[in-house]
Amino acid sequence: MSERIARYTHDGLEFDVLDQGPLDGPVVLLLHGFPERAASWSAVMDQLNEAGFRTVAPDQRGYSPGARPKRRRAYRVGALVDDVVALIDTIGAPVHLVGHDWGANIAWVTAGRRPDLMLSLTAFSVPHPGSFMTALLTSRQILHSWYFAFFQLPILPEKWMTRPGQRAEKWYERSGMNADDLERTRTDVVDYGALPYAVTWYRGLPFSNPGIGRLRITVPTSMVWSDGDTFIGRSAIERAQQYVDARYTLTVLAGVTHWIPTQAPTEAAQAIIANAS
């Protein structure tokens, strides 16, 4: 495809997209996490563009104003994956798929279901869903993931996360968010009206196919984790390679928190470029 993509439609929804860099360059498709939007990749995108890559980053389901269905079932993992497949079809060529946090989970499942649509997979912070689910049962990961259960409650999580100076911001700060990250979350997610729908990604999990935990990955894969991550323990990360039947690289960023795309963009870009080579 030789034209910029500002938005695309799928499932009756309209998604906003950031598309930059050389149009004839290899495409890197970047999926953001929670609670962030496509702009969280900005510093990474700039470096990838300088290296000759075209970068495409959507505001995903619930984050784009035109793509905010209300039902929990609409946010099951399969629906989120189908949104990514539709964007790749719009691009018209296989991509180097990249995801952070929730975006990494969707990237793993997309790679498992549609390897024909991608050239490589780079996952930041969150491992293969099978690795994550095993760690929940066999390690301290369940203590890191307590909020998965809390977010199933109606209304209360949104209220908890929207009061200025409230406990949620303290929680973010303990996870490593700096002042810029906090302000971006307020403006890009809370003030933008995306938060209730972003939380519903968690509420859609009970409607998701448990078979995603058994998917095999057959494309070159890079897992990037940071040892300051308070959400994902190392036990979950170390199991990820068991699900990959292709070249696999694990990179551990020392002294970096969960928020790799905004706080370690150079290291993130380098990992993507290395995996795409």
- Percent of the chain at pLDDT above 90? 83
- The model's pLDDT over 52-73, given as tens digits with 9 standing for 90+, comes to 999 999 999 999 999 999 999 9
What was the pLDDT predicted at 2? 67
CA 76/CA 97 separation, integer angstroms: 20
Overall average pLDDT of the 164-174 stretch: 78
pLDDT band, very low/low/confident/very high, at 1 (cuts 50, 70, 90) = low
Given a cut of 70, is residue 22 above it in pLDDT?
yes
Judge contact between 257 and 263, C-beta under 8 A.
Answer: yes
Residue 168: pLDDT band (50, 70, 90) is confident
Please check the confidence at residue 119 and state whether its pLDDT lies above 80: yes
pLDDT per residue as tens digits for the range 218-271: 999 999 999 999 999 999 999 999 999 999 999 999 999 999 999 999 999 999
Tell me how long the chain is. Answer: 277
pLDDT for residue 164: 63
DSSP string of 112-152, one letter each residue: HH-GGGEEEEEEES---HHHHHHHHHHSTHHHHTTHHHHTT
Q: Is the dihedral of CA 78, 144, 243, 240 positive or negative?
A: positive
* CATH 1.10.10.10 is held by the domain 7-276: no
pLDDT in tens, 181-225: 999 998 999 999 999 999 999 999 999 988 999 999 999 999 999
